[in-house]
């Protein structure tokens, strides 16, 4: 499985292109595609439409297994400025829906929610939605990618560039600050992509045992089973076998109705993530 890092702007992508030693292989108007040994890089152009179109092109041209990462700048309140964040919820302002990227390992970056807008957010808007961040492509990236890959392969990392509606681009001062943690961001992307591949292709016997043990108490839907599998992989990375068994054994032996089952399932996911 290969990581493809998706940016809106070429200047956002440039430090990663150089560090990953990627070479330009396709250029079509705003769309640029770079390929390297460790990762590929896609530049879409600004906005939801450009990002959705670029994702369609990406999966139409290149069907190989991949995990996709939307990386780049975003707006945020003054307190969040010049920091990288791992996105755990993406809200689409236009339709009020949300996408929840699955984090299956601990991240070195703090978590934030992201709201995707159709225009740059001004200072007042950013203060209103804080601590959430704002961009113009994240939601379209997630929705388009969902048409081609499972949700566990869709991730976002954002750097808060400004709190003034995007005016920072007029100055080149932001570029050095933005590039300071390129190595850390690349390491997060590449190491987690390797882990995703192992998780998908090498389901260990103990994970199957845990799943069946839980399924005897709570009737799981397909979606719940996949959510639980990811939570178990996450927990197994940080908990001992006996600790996992203790969490699972906390489930009641019998659950009377669907509401009780749903409540117990949500509590189990929280317990597995709480490491």
The per-residue pLDDT for 52 is 96
Q: How far apart are CA 236 and CA 145, in angstroms?
A: 28
Residue intervals in the chain for CATH 3.40.50.1580: 2-199
**Predicted pLDDT of residue 106:** 79
* Beta carbons of 39 and 190 less than 8 angstroms apart: yes
Tens of pLDDT along 222-266?
A: 777 777 777 777 776 666 555 666 666 666 655 556 777 777 777
Q: In the prediction, which pLDDT does 63 show?
A: 67
What CA dihedral angle connects 224, 139, 170 and 76, to 10 degrees?
-50
So what's the pLDDT on residue 72?
95
Tell me the CATH number for domain 2-199. Answer: 3.40.50.1580
User: What pLDDT is recorded for position 107?
Assistant: 87
Give the residue ranges of the chain where pLDDT is below 50.
275
What per-residue confidence (pLDDT) applies to 273? 66
């Amino acid at each position: 499985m290969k990581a493809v890092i998706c940016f809106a702007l070429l200047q956002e992508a440039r430090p990663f292109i150089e560090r990953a030693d990627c070479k330009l292989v396709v250029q079509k108007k705003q769309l640029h595609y770079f390929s390297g040994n460790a990762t590929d890089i896609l530049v879409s152009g600004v906005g939801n439409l450009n990002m959705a179109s670029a994702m369609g092109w990406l999966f139409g041209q290149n069907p190989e297994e991949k995990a996709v990462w939307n990386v780049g700048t975003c707006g945020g309140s003054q307190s969040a400025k010049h920091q990288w964040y791992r996105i755990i919820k993406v809200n689409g302002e236009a339709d009020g829906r949300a996408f929840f990227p699955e984090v299956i390992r601990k991240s070195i970056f703090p978590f934030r929610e992201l709201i995707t807008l159709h225009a740059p957010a001004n200072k007042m808007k950013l203060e209103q939605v804080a601590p959430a961040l704002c961009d113009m492509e994240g939601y379209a990236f997630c929705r388009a990618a969902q048409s081609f890959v499972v949700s566990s392969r869709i991730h976002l990392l954002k750097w808060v560039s400004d709190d003034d509606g995007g005016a920072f681009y007029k100055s080149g001062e932001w570029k050095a600050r933005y590039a300071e943690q390129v190595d850390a961001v690349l390491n997060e992307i590449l190491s987690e992509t390797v882990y995703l591949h192992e998780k998908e292709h090498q389901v260990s016997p103990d994970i199957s045992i845990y799943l069946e043990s839980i399924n005897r108490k709570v009737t799981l839907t397909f979606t719940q089973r996949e959510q639980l599998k990811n939570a178990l992989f996450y927990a197994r990375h940080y908990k001992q076998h006996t600790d996992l068994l203790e969490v699972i054994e906390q489930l009641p032996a019998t659950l009377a109705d669907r509401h009780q089952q749903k409540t117990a399932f949500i509590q189990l996911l929280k317990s597995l993530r709480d490491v």
